[in-house]
Amino acid sequence: SFTLSTKTLTVGQQGWEMLTATALVVSYFSGPLLNFGDFSRYGKSMSEIRRGNRWGLPFNFLLFSIVTVVIVSG
């Protein structure tokens, strides 16, 4: 079990923490999402942009998520 605290949360508190975490992820990605036009205008073709997104978005999300968990857990 992965616990950092001995405190037990109620179902409502767990739901609130999940909502907070979801809001954090949404706010983290809202900047790049709104600026997608700025990032994609230098692509040579739409297929190149899709290929870059297919590789770059999941990889960067995973990398930054791991770094965040390591820093917060430390």
Each domain of the chain, given as residue ranges in start order, spans 12-73
Provide the greatest CA pair distance for the chain.
Answer: 54
**pLDDT digit string (tens) for 4-39?**
778 888 999 989 988 988 888 888 888 877 777 777
pLDDT at position 33 is 77
pLDDT value of position 11: 93
Q: Where are the alpha helices (DSSP H) in 1-74?
A: 11-34, 36-40, 46-73
What is the distance, to the nearest Å, from the Cα of residue 45 to the centroid of all Cα atoms in its chain?
26
Distance CA(17)–CA(36), nearest Å, equals 29
The Cα 4–Cα 1 span in angstroms is 10
| Mean pLDDT of all residues in 59-63 | 86
pLDDT above 70 coverage of the chain, percent: 96
| pTM score, whole prediction | 0.51
